Amino acid sequence: MLIKPLTSTTIPVDDPIAAIELFMESGWTDGLPIVPPTPELVQRMVGDYDPQEFIGYIPPKYGGATIEKLAINAVMAGCKPAYLPVIIAGVKAMLTEIFNLHGVQSTTHMSTPAFVINGPIACALNINSKAGCLGSGFRANATIGRALRLVMMNLGGGIPGETDKATFGHPGKYAYLWAENEEESPWEPFHVERGFRAAESTITAYSCEPPHNINNHAERDPFQILYGIAGAMKGTGHNNFYVMGDTMVVLCPEHAVSIAEHNWRKRDVKYYLWEKARQPLRELKYNGMYGAEYKKNFWPRWVDRDNEETLAPIVRTPDDILVFVAGGKGRHSVFIPGWGTRAVTQKIEV
Amino acid sequence: MAQEHGPFIVLSPQPEFFPQGGVLAPRLDTLRGKTIAFLDNNKLQPHNRYFDLLGHLLQEREGVKAVIHAQKPFFTRPARDEVLKPLMTQADAVVTGVGE
């Protein structure tokens, strides 16, 4: 087929090391060295795509994202060409209105988009869903996640301390991507729950804090396991109790299997957590944005704001608790508080 | 691709185009007699009177005719047309920002 030309501005430098230093000095990296995006590497990354295909404008800078620009940032991150469809879908997910990337990129909150992969592409690309999947050491997880961060910085202008106003940020801003451990999950995969076919692949974008570990080696009973998880979710200070939106629990396979052995479905897990992860208004009024004006918080109407003993739920409905299964052996699950918006699941076109 | 010769060529990761209309509005010559709007993200505590004080200062010192204080529905939600359209018709300039 006819190869369409690249049109990005070319930059001559002395050698690859000079390119790395130039990108560092220009603020075009996440603080780590990049792979210099030569025309040859970018063309290889673009492959059969039209490099000028327009994907969208990335807020808050609203730089135009074409396949070529995504490919440049993917090369910089160390991606293989086979990863590009995941990056394209991840960007599309972030650009939906309900995701509110403008707010995510510019808030003082620490949140950053996390990405969860479902479907056969996770295995095909070796996206880790098992031991250490939220940590370091896996090329696909690290470089696809990093590419999406570089897109947010270079095309979206999410520069820390400038338009990215995060008071702290968190380590997930380098890369925050894993796959669901569908193989060891006792339930239907997350994307099937959302109406996709099991044979399709998806990426779910979710703006959130870092994961909070929940250690439970003692219990096999669903009530006891989930009671401990609800206890972690009840911690005050995270956004969900005030802003609602979506929240996320990632169960390790051992916890999930123990729960499922008692014939609990994923829906039962959500309902139980929604019932138990609650706080009386008297505990919540000292946190969040409003202090004494705490009645402005986004609680459902059925929460009686005139009674401080009323229990407010962590999110509006059980379905707003996103439940995944991931991780390796061991009895540790995680709770990942949200920023207060919706997770978006996008099909990966391959 | 523009051909610039160097020993080693890389491509810019920066955007090369932006939305049409995504430019700053024309600057006002003067604030005197103008209507100025503030669009805040509805995150500040209600006793924070920053915008009230700023509006008073603009009226006293700069002769601003009127100040409009508009709010997003919530800081995690985008401002919709019902918030933005009145500002477009009523204000000579709108001040907004990111973060807080």
Question: Could you give the percent of chain A with pLDDT greater than 70?
Answer: 98
Q: Would you state the pLDDT for residue B2? A: 46
Best A97, A98, A107 member to test B by mutation, with max B CBs in 10 Å, is A107
Residues of chain A with pLDDT under 70: 1-2, 289-292
Pick B24 or B34 by higher pLDDT.
B34
Do A12 and B4 count as a contact with CB atoms less than 8 A apart?
Answer: yes
Domain ranges for chain A, please list them: 16-277+314-347
Q: Would you state the pLDDT for residue B45? A: 56
Q: Would you state the pLDDT for residue A235? A: 93
Name residue B69's beta-bridge partners: B38
Instruction: For chain B, give the longest Cα–Cα distance.
Output: 61
Do A11 and B9 count as a contact with CB atoms less than 8 A apart?
Answer: yes
- For the stretch B60-96, pLDDT in tens is 999 999 999 888 877 777 788 889 999 989 999 998 8
- Least CB–CB distance from A72: residue in B3, B13, B19: B13
Q: Would you state the pLDDT for residue B99? A: 63
Q: Would you state the pLDDT for residue B6? A: 61
- CB distance from A64 to chain B under 8 Å? yes
Q: Would you state the pLDDT for residue B49? A: 79
- CB distance from A129 to chain B under 8 Å? no
Q: Would you state the pLDDT for residue B100? A: 58
Per DSSP bridges, beta strands A321-325 and A247-251 are: parallel
From chain B, the residues in CB contact with A165 under 8 A are 98-100
Cα dihedral: B82, B83, B87, B89 (round 10):
0
Helix boundaries (H) for chain A: 16-25, 39-46, 67-77, 84-94, 101-106, 120-124, 139-154, 190-193, 222-233, 240-243, 253-260, 266-276, 281-284
Of residues A110, A106, A86, the one with CA closest to residue A156: A106
Domain ranges for chain B, please list them: 30-72
Q: Would you state the pLDDT for residue B44? A: 59
From chain B, the residues in CB contact with A341 under 8 A are 76
What tokens does B91 get?
């204000």
Query: Is A49 in contact with A42 (CB distance < 8 Å)?
Result: no
Instruction: Check: pTM over 0.90? Answer yes or no.
Output: yes
